[in-house]
Structure 1
Amino acid sequence: MSKLIITEAPEKWNLKFNGVDLISPSEYFSQPKYQESKKFKIINLCRSHQYQSLGYYVSLLAEARGHKVIPEIATLQDFRFPSLIKDDAEEFDVLIQNSLKKVEDNKTTINIFFGQVENPAYANLGVLLFNLFQIPIIQAVFVKKEKKWQLQSLKPLHLKELGKEDYLKLEEALSFYFTGKKIVRKKYSRKKYDLAILMSPEDATPPSNAKALQKFIAAADKLGFNTECITKNDFGKLVQFDALFIRETTNVNHYTYRFAKKAEAEGLVVMDDSNSILKCTNKVYLHELLVANKIAVPKSHIVRKDDHHVPADFNYPLVIKQPDGSFSKGVKKVVDEKQLKETLKSLFQKSELLIIQEFVPTSYDWRVGVVNGKALYVCKYYMAQNHWQIVDWKKNGEHREGKSETLAVEDVPKALIDTALKATALIGNGLYGVDVKEIDGKFYVIEINDNPNIDAGVEDKIIKNGLYTTIMETFVERLQKR
């Protein structure tokens, strides 16, 4: 998707980025190529965005043409109601206080250029405000009242309000926005698509290790992607990309879900999509979905906070599952009624519903990796040593994992693959990992993961780089169909 910077007198700007064209509003309004294609992403840097100005009409026509534009008309309208902006500011009060605690005056003004600020102490605040409000240049004014900092005003700044030094800061911020670095990096050949991989450097158990991420990037490069790894601080950059690949632990009550929703709204191809995150990260939903569609699951029962009744035919030990647990967290085993009551009391502090299952001991769980409705890989994940789960979490936060074995899809029971494909078809056509227990030759679905583990040396052991290529090919296929 092509990128445009639109501003009056573009010849006066010293902006050169691969894959980015600098044009005037009149060119954008009149040239047929900007009317006939929806595949444009636009940075509107006109001198003003006031109602019925040139800048206003650039954003208005961009939205009418189906282009992705910063700023959007709705965002500009929000700034007409300062009280709403101040209400939003209350949600990040701690960050405001921490960022401004060393300011000696009772008033300070911060100019934010695409999330970049001059004072490093305000860096996190600048990124947050840009991510929230998606305005190229924002001026935030804070005042201290009764020893506490408050947002007094937040407004868009227009080019006509900038001095010569501000233009230099804007050019540097644009360079960082487009390249991820404050100095222009070496030129790369223009690829057809731009892919963002969302990951977290702080994640103790990421879905993909560093080597796997490198392999994803290499596969994407061969298929025509410029690829950039982004983090939670890059929400405002999503508009730059054509596709988003989420490679960190997801949850509905988490920024990964907001990233997926935002990317979908911007027209990106997203894996895994917000609908899959919503369905897969809640075990109560999954249980009901699987049971309703007659897919075998271990003997289970949903208990409510106001009704702890467990069916009489359930035998100990039992497994209690928190609906949104992941990586074996939020799953407890109890051996008697006393332990059951204590565990329910603890877990009900976080959820109104829980799942109880009869414990079925097995030496390993099957994992079938599925993408686009086809089986991609199959693994056996063995239980951690002297533990009943694949991952053994210690009280200090450390963990041990069991061994794994990877098998060719054609070498495992057909009934296993059929079960996994039938289960994932209920969710969507994204990338999933289906956990299955085999009991007396029958297969029971434990859960479906929307961002399954793909680590170099494990899941790719059989088909090698073909695993990464297949997933990237899925992105290409979906982009071509847009």
Structure 2
Amino acid sequence: MSGIVVVDQQGDWPVDIPGVDVVTAWDYLTQDSFTRLRGVRVYNLCRTFSYQTTGYYVSLLAGARGHKILPDITTVQDLKLAESPSVLNDEIEELIQQSLARLGSSEYILNVYFGDSPYIRHERLARALFNLFPAPLLQAKFVWRGNQWRVDTLNAVAMGEVPAAHHEFLYQTAREYFTRRRGPRRKRDSTRYDLAILVNEDEKEAPSNARALKLFEKAAEDLGFSVDFLDKSDYGHVAEYDALFIRETTAVNHHTYRFSRRGAREGLVVVDDPESILRCANKVYLAQLMDRHRIPQPKTMLVHRANVADVGREMGFPLVLKQPDSQFSKGVIKVESEADLKRETREFLERSDLIVAQRFEPTEYDWRIGVLDGQPLYACRYFMAPAHWQVVKRDKNGAKREGNHETLDVKDVPRQVLSVALQAARAIGSGLYGVDLKQFGSVVKVIEVNDNPNIDYGVEDLVLKDQIYRRIMEYFVRKLDEQTRAKEPQAR
């Protein structure tokens, strides 16, 4: 048995799906055999999720038992909040207007079954709603207000509220949903854990290239993982896994952070964890963190509207301005004069109330030390792009030129470089980081700490080869084994 459908009465779910058992809520809550089950997925189709009803307790106790439950208790609570519709982000708002554009009525009710809709035109909207509120059966009521559609209510619905005309579609959608993960990559009997790797096939500067992703998959499977690659549309499936590895460029106001946050909330081992994303994504935070821990960095100043006039005098020219959430050398510029400083800070401060200014300290190359769980993993030297002051040079059309790279054994890295890199990474957390540093003789300074560092086939893996992928997967195994031991009853 790999899945359980929980209903109020046995006849509420007449569909026979291989590997999926149908049990009543009362049996699930009261029979010891269900308490002892491990590694099972539970689909709560009770008629009500009201506080302290059997439906409510199914989701609550499934979480306590370590079962993968849909909907989880947090989703049940979120859907009860009166302000739930207000959390819909701009992407969903746009989908709402597109999906309902040609309707002539002033209100519309959309039923969503396991992330799908019986009507093709509403499929994308249904998936988006399910991703935000992962519940098997959802109902959204939309109303026309002023000149646009708005969500009036959004609720989990009971089996009895599903229109008879939708029953066959619901059953078919459920069959596809329940069997999807047992699809072409059938889980092996020896599998210890389930790993999801979040990727974006359309990303031009992804943190791992296609060959590296295949090597991650192989390393994970060799260690006993069942591996699935997910994309942003799979948010509703996060809770089905034991671990989540994000190999898509992360950002705070982005689905990668939502994936990470949900994974952590569900108890998955997550790389990158949400705290690391929040901390590494903001250079203002990093500057203050390095200062607090007395970790050397170039002379740094936090710039705001009231102190722009002091920046040139304090820092000297040239200097470097950084947008707090800049990535891939974007949003990082060199300023040569007071006139340039005033112009560029005006533009930067329109997007953020605080920005970072650092003294410009040129070097031939930047160090990148990969750190995993507080220990050095790999070391690279990234050389500046030809005739440029950064590793990557971009023209006005977005084309880029990169400098050369050199991968070294960590044993050959100067001791001071490793020491400062490890201090910086440990100030962030215990996950996977890439620490960028500059070296001036025996002086080493941190430029930034990156979550989600690049690990590409043919670059960062040149020294360790396949071992770099295996070591990262071993980290997941180690953390998952620790979780498993922590859940086991202690011998008296």
1:364 maps to 2:365: yes
Distance in 1 of aligned mates of 2:296 and 2:185: 54
Aligned residue number for residue 340 of structure 2: 339
Q: Look up the equivalent residue of 1:466 and give its one-letter code.
A: Q
How far is 1:450 from its partner?
A: 0.8
How far is 1:121 from its partner?
A: 2.0
Aligned residue number for residue 236 of structure 1: 236
**Residue pairs, 1:25-424, within 5 angstroms:** 25-36=25-36, 40-49=40-49, 54-65=54-65, 67-73=67-73, 75-76=75-76, 79=79, 83-88=82-87, 92-103=92-103, 108-144=108-144, 148-162=148-162, 166-178=166-178, 180=180, 184-185=183-184, 187-190=186-189, 191-308=191-308, 309-310=310-311, 312=313, 314-424=315-425
Distance in 1 of aligned mates of 2:21 and 2:477: 24
Provide structure 2 residue ranges, at least 5 long, that are not aligned to the other structure: 484-492
Distance in 2 of aligned mates of 1:90 and 1:447: 30
Aligned residue number for residue 487 of structure 2: none
Relative distance call for 1:169 and 1:187 in structure 2 (3 A) is farther
Q: Look up the equivalent residue of 2:277 and give its one-letter code.
A: I
What percent of counterpart residues are identical? 42
How far is 1:73 from its partner?
A: 4.4
How far is 1:430 from its partner?
A: 0.3
Q: Look up the equivalent residue of 1:388 and give its one-letter code.
A: W
**Which is further off, 150-159 or 201-210?**
150-159
How far is 1:305 from its partner?
A: 2.0
Check conservation: 1:48, 1:160, Cα contact below 8 A. no
Q: What's the CA shift string for 1:280-319, capped at 9, x where partnerless?
A: 1111221222122222212222222211112646332111
Distance in 2 of aligned mates of 1:62 and 1:221: 28
SS at match of 2:83: helix
Provide structure 1 residue ranges, at least 5 long, that are not aligned to the other structure: none
Relative distance call for 1:265 and 1:403 in structure 2 (3 A) is same
Check conservation: 1:175, 1:184, Cα contact below 8 A. no
Relative distance call for 1:241 and 1:222 in structure 2 (3 A) is same
How far is 1:87 from its partner?
A: 3.7
**Which is further off, 167-176 or 194-203?**
167-176
Distance in 1 of aligned mates of 2:285 and 2:221: 37
Q: Look up the equivalent residue of 2:367 and give its one-letter code.
A: W
How far is 1:369 from its partner?
A: 0.6
Relative distance call for 1:429 and 1:179 in structure 2 (3 A) is farther
How far is 1:220 from its partner?
A: 1.0
Distance in 2 of aligned mates of 1:187 and 1:313: 62
How far is 1:47 from its partner?
A: 4.8
Check conservation: 1:41, 1:239, Cα contact below 8 A. no
TM-score (norm 1): 0.90
Distance in 2 of aligned mates of 1:90 and 1:326: 23
Relative distance call for 1:293 and 1:149 in structure 2 (3 A) is closer
TM-score (norm 2): 0.88
Q: What's the CA shift string for 1:219-272, capped at 9, x where partnerless?
A: 111112121122222221111111111112222232222222211111111111
SS at match of 2:58: helix
Q: Look up the equivalent residue of 1:267 and give its one-letter code.
A: G
Distance in 1 of aligned mates of 2:145 and 2:374: 58
Check conservation: 2:26, 2:54, Cα contact below 8 A. no
Q: Look up the equivalent residue of 1:187 and give its one-letter code.
A: R
How far is 1:13 from its partner?
A: 2.7
Q: Look up the equivalent residue of 1:452 and give its one-letter code.
A: P
Count, aligned residues: 478
Relative distance call for 1:284 and 1:22 in structure 2 (3 A) is same
Q: What's the CA shift string for 1:419-439, capped at 9, x where partnerless?
A: 211211111110000111111
Distance in 2 of aligned mates of 1:421 and 1:152: 51
